[in-house]
């Protein structure tokens, strides 16, 4: 997803996207987007990690990672990593958490042109991102209602 003139003034549910500019802090690093953080954590080489953090756009971060050696265990840990990153995003940006919770109990379909693992295209795709957003939404609502207290 690309907006050559920048993100819309009122982005609505676009704030749920991993490419949306929402800096997150994980450990001692600040990442410009969830997408940047995801690709940094996927890559082995520390110099390449720094380049990915500094990438102007999430697409550039993904391209840099694609030209790099990924962690050998990345297929096993990537869903857990993404879950942690999404939790951080919505904890650190409560206004985006409100947008996510406002989706109610709706099934979330994440449109991802480049991945049928994370997204869905037509009838194809595993929609992991949509499922994780639904999980985070449920956790946020439960916390707001003190269900687990």
Domain containing residue 42: 12-144
Percent residues over pLDDT 90 in the chain: 86
Segment 15-34 mean pLDDT? 98
**Mean pLDDT, rounded, of the chain:** 95
Q: Which of 97, 98, 76, 85 is nearest to 33 (CA)?
A: 85
Percent residues over pLDDT 70 in the chain: 97
* pLDDT tier at 2, thresholds 50, 70, 90: low
31 part of a folded domain:
yes
Task: List C-alpha distances in Å: 74 to 3, 31, 38.
Answer: 29, 19, 11
* pLDDT tier at 19, thresholds 50, 70, 90: very high
* Cα gap 96→106, rounded to integer Å: 17
CATH code at position 130: 1.10.357.40
């Amino acid at each position: 997803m690309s907006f050559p003139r920048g993100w819309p003034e009122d982005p609505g549910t676009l704030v749920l996207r991993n490419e949306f500019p929402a800096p997150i802090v994980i450990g001692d690093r600040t990442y410009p987007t969830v997408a940047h953080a995801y690709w940094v954590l996927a890559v082995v080489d520390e110099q390449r990690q720094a380049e990915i953090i500094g990438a102007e756009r999430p697409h550039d971060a993904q391209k840099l990672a694609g030209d790099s050696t990924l962690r050998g265990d990345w297929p096993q840990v990537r869903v857990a990593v993404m879950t942690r990153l999404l939790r951080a995003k919505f904890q650190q940006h409560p206004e985006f958490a409100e947008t996510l919770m406002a989706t109610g109990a709706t099934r979330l379909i994440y449109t991802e042109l480049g991945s049928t693992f994370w997204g869905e295209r037509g009838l194809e795709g595993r929609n992991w991102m949509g499922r994780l957003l639904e999980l985070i939404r449920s956790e946020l609502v439960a916390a707001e209602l003190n269900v687990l207290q």
